[in-house]
Amino acid sequence: MTSDLLLIAALDGIAYAALVFLVAVGLTLIFGVLRVLNIAHGSFYALGAYVAASLGIGIAASKISPWLSYPALAVAAAIVGIVVGSAIERLLLQRIYDKEEVLQLLVTFAAFMILDNAQRLIWGVQPYFVATPLQLLGNVQIGGITYTVYQIIVLPAVALLVLAGMRLFLRRTVSGRVILAVAEDREAARAIGINVPRVYLWTFVIGSILASLGGSLASPTTSILPGMGTDMLVLSFAVAASAGLGRIEGAAITALLIGLGRSAAVYWAPELDVLVPYLIMTLVLLVKPQGLFGTLQARRI
Amino acid sequence: MLTFDNIVVAIQGATILRRVTFRIDAGQTVALIGRNGAGKTTVLRTVMGLIGPAGGRLGFEGRDITAMRADQRPGLGIGYAPEDRRLFSAFTVEENIRLPAEVARRPKAEIADTLDRIYSMIPELKEMARRPAGQVSGGQGKIVALGRALMLGTKIILLDEPFQGLAPILAARYGETLKALKATRPDISVLITESNPSLLKPFADRTLIIERGDLSEIMNDEPLVA
C-alpha cells in the first residue's frame, strides 16, 4: 500500500516535472540571453493551453481524425510563441533592455496582466477540458499502477527531447553558438559581427514556444482556467532559480526535484502542497545562493 | 583606407575624443600611443561602431560608415582584439577563432583555409585549439584574440594594448607574430594602441599620440619598418 503510494507519487512527480521543465527552460533561456526576468512567461503557458484546447475542440467538431490533436498541440505552441512572442519582444522588450531591472519587471508584469485579461476576453472564465490526446493513447501498467501513456511516456519523452535538442542546438549549430556568445558577452558578440537585437528576438521566440508547449501539452491533463499561468510562472521561477538562472541542464534536475517534492506533498502533507516548491527553493538558495548549478559571476556593466 | 574626420565622442557628457582626424593607408602599421584614459580604446571602439560619435565622419575604403551598424562592420574586413580579450569561455580556442567567420556565413572551405593560414602564422594557437577558452592564461588569451581578429580582419586589424600585462617572453613572442603577419600579409593595415611608446618602435610605420582626446602625429625621422 505504502509502496504503491510512493510509486504513484513518483509517477505524478515525473509527469508534472516534464511540464514544469518545459516552461522553466524557456524562462531560464530568456533570462540567460536577454537578462530580463520575463513575468509574462506564465501567459505563454496559459495561452498555449487555451489555443491547444480551441484547436482540439475544432478538430473534434470537424470530425477529422482525432489523431490530428497531437500535431495540434505543437501547432498551438508554435502559433503562440511566434505571434505573441515576437510581438512582445519587438513592441515592448526592445525598448527596455537598457533600463533598470525594476522597470523591466514592472513592464513584463504589466504585459502579463494584459495577456491574462485578454484570455478572459477571448475564452471567458468557464473551464475548458479537452482530453482527447490523453484518452487516445490509453493506459500503461507500471508496477501494478495504471497510468496514462500520455502523462508518463509522452510528456517525459518530449521534455528529454527538448533537453537534448537544446544542447545540440546550442553547442553544434552556428545559431546556437551565436546565442551562447550573446549570453556571455553582448558587446564582444557585436564586435565579431553578431546582430544582437535579432538574437534577442529569436531567443525570446524560442523561449516563448517552450512555455506555450508546456501549456499545450498540459491542456489534456488539466482543466484550463484563468489564473493557470500564474501558478506555473511562480513554479517555473522556483525551478529556474534553484538551478541557477541560465542553467538548462540544471533546470531539468531541479524540475524533477520540485515535481517529486510537490507530488510527495500532495499525498503525505496535502496542506503543504503549494508550499513545498518554495521550501525546496529556499533551502537550495540558503545553501547555494547562486543556485545548485550556478556559478558566481561578476556583473558586467 | 580608414579615415577619421573630426570625430567627436562623448560618454555621459564627458568629451572623450575631440575632433580626432587621421588616416591609415592600406598596409600601414600605426601605433596609437597615450596614457590610460586618453581615449585610445575609444578610437578603436568607434571604428567598430560600439560607440557612436557625436560628430564627424568615419570612412572606410572611401565609404562613409559613420552610421553603419556595429555587427555589419567586421564583415568589411575589420578585425578587433579588445584589451581584455573578451573570449567566449563557453567555447574552445578554435571555436572562438572560427566564430566571426561562421557568423558572417563564410563558406566552410574558406573558413578552413583562413584557419590554416592563422595556424601557420601563430603555431601555438594550433596547440591550444581544443582547450576551453576560459582556461587559457591572460597572455595566451591575447594571442587567441589576435587569431580571432585575423579571421575576418583581411583589411585592417585593431589591437588594443596587446602587450599590456604580458610576461616578457610572451610579449616577445607576440612581437614576432606581428612581424610574421607583416611579412606574410603586407596588405593588412594594423592599428595598435599602447601606453609605452618604445614597445611599438620596431613595428610601427607611423606613431599617433593621443592625449585627453586630442590626437597628433609624431613625424618619424625615418620610417621604422621591421
Rounded distance between C-alpha atoms, residue B217 and residue B121, angstroms: 31
Residues 177-216 of A with CB under 8 A from B: 177-178, 180-181, 183-185, 187-188, 190-196
Flag if A191 and B48 touch (Cβ within 8 Å).
Answer: yes
Domain containing residue A222: 23-230
Tell me the Cα Rg of chain A: 19
Residues 152-181 of A with CB under 8 A from B: 174, 177-178, 180-181
Q: What is the reported pLDDT for A296?
A: 52
Residue A162's nearest CA partner among A18, A9, A14, A17 is A18
Rounded distance between C-alpha atoms, residue A26 and residue A292, angstroms: 18
Domain containing residue B80: 2-218
Helix runs in chain B, H state only? 40-48, 93-103, 108-121, 123-128, 138-152, 168-184, 197-200
Residue A197: is it exposed, middle or buried by C-beta count within 10 angstroms (0-12/13-18/19+)?
middle
B112 touches A: beta carbon within 8 Å: no
Flag if A184 and B72 touch (Cβ within 8 Å).
Answer: no
Q: Residue A103 falls within a domain, yes or no? A: yes
Nearest chain A residue to B73, by CA: A193
Flag if B72 and A178 touch (Cβ within 8 Å).
Answer: no
Q: What is the reported pLDDT for B145?
A: 96
DSSP run (H or E) holding A133: helix A132-136
Residue B144 · residue B85 · CB < 8 Å: yes
Calculate ∠ Cα A38-A41-A44, nearest 5°.
150
Residue B101: is it exposed, middle or buried by C-beta count within 10 angstroms (0-12/13-18/19+)?
buried
Three-class secondary structure of residue A195 per DSSP: coil
Q: Residue A273 falls within a domain, yes or no? A: no
And the C-alpha cell for B142? 591575447
And the C-alpha cell for A292? 545548485
Q: Residue B225 falls within a domain, yes or no? A: no
Question: Which comes out higher in pLDDT, residue B68 or A288?
Answer: B68
Give the nearest partner residue to A191 out of B80, B90, B105, using CB atoms.
Answer: B80
B141 touches A: beta carbon within 8 Å: no
CATH number at residue B168: 3.40.50.300
Note the ipTM here.
0.90
Rounded distance between C-alpha atoms, residue A75 and residue A120, angstroms: 22
Rounded distance between C-alpha atoms, residue B9 and residue B20, angstroms: 9
Rounded distance between C-alpha atoms, residue B98 and residue B91, angstroms: 10
The count of domains in chain B is 1
Pairing relationship of beta strands A145-148 and A139-142 according to DSSP bridges: antiparallel
Nearest chain B residue to A174, by CA: B102
Three-class secondary structure of residue B17 per DSSP: strand
Nearest chain B residue to A300, by CA: B86
Instruction: Give the count of Cβ contacts less than 8 A between chain A and B.
Output: 61
The count of domains in chain A is 1
Q: Residue B174 falls within a domain, yes or no? A: yes
Residue A231 · residue A19 · CB < 8 Å: no
User: What single DSSP character describes residue A224?
Assistant: B
Rounded distance between C-alpha atoms, residue B27 and residue A111, angstroms: 54
Distance from CA of A178 to the nearest CA of B (A): 7
Which residue is it, cell 559613420? B66
A98 touches B: beta carbon within 8 Å: no
Beta bridge partners of A172: none
Q: Residue B226 falls within a domain, yes or no? A: no
Flag if A192 and B72 touch (Cβ within 8 Å).
Answer: no
Residues from chain A contacting residue B96 (CB–CB below 8 Å) = none
B89 touches A: beta carbon within 8 Å: yes
Q: Residue B95 falls within a domain, yes or no? A: yes
Q: Residue B40 falls within a domain, yes or no? A: yes
Q: What is the reported pLDDT for B170?
A: 87
Q: Residue B223 falls within a domain, yes or no? A: no
pLDDT band at A294 (very low <50, low <70, confident <90, very high): confident
Which ranges of chain B have pLDDT less than 50?
222-226
Residues 9-68 of B with CB under 8 A from A: 48-50
Question: Does position A1 have pLDDT exceeding 70, yes or no?
Answer: no
- Give the pTM: 0.91
Q: What is the reported pLDDT for B209?
A: 93
Q: Residue A236 falls within a domain, yes or no? A: no
And the C-alpha cell for B34? 597615450
Beta bridge partners of B31: B192, B207
Q: Residue A296 falls within a domain, yes or no? A: no
Q: Residue B141 falls within a domain, yes or no? A: yes
pLDDT digits (tens, 9 = 90+) for A62-87: 888 989 999 999 999 999 999 999 99
Rounded distance between C-alpha atoms, residue B135 and residue B85, angstroms: 13
Flag if A177 and B102 touch (Cβ within 8 Å).
Answer: yes
B225 touches A: beta carbon within 8 Å: no
Give the nearest partner residue to A192 out of B49, B69, B100, using CB atoms.
Answer: B100
Beta bridge partners of B215: B210
The pLDDT mean for chain A works out to 92
Q: Residue B82 falls within a domain, yes or no? A: yes
Rounded distance between C-alpha atoms, residue A255 and residue A241, angstroms: 11
pLDDT digits (tens, 9 = 90+) for A35-68: 999 999 999 999 999 999 999 999 999 888 989 9
Question: Which comes out higher in pLDDT, residue A300 or A149?
Answer: A149
Residue A294 · residue A242 · CB < 8 Å: no
And the C-alpha cell for A149? 501513456
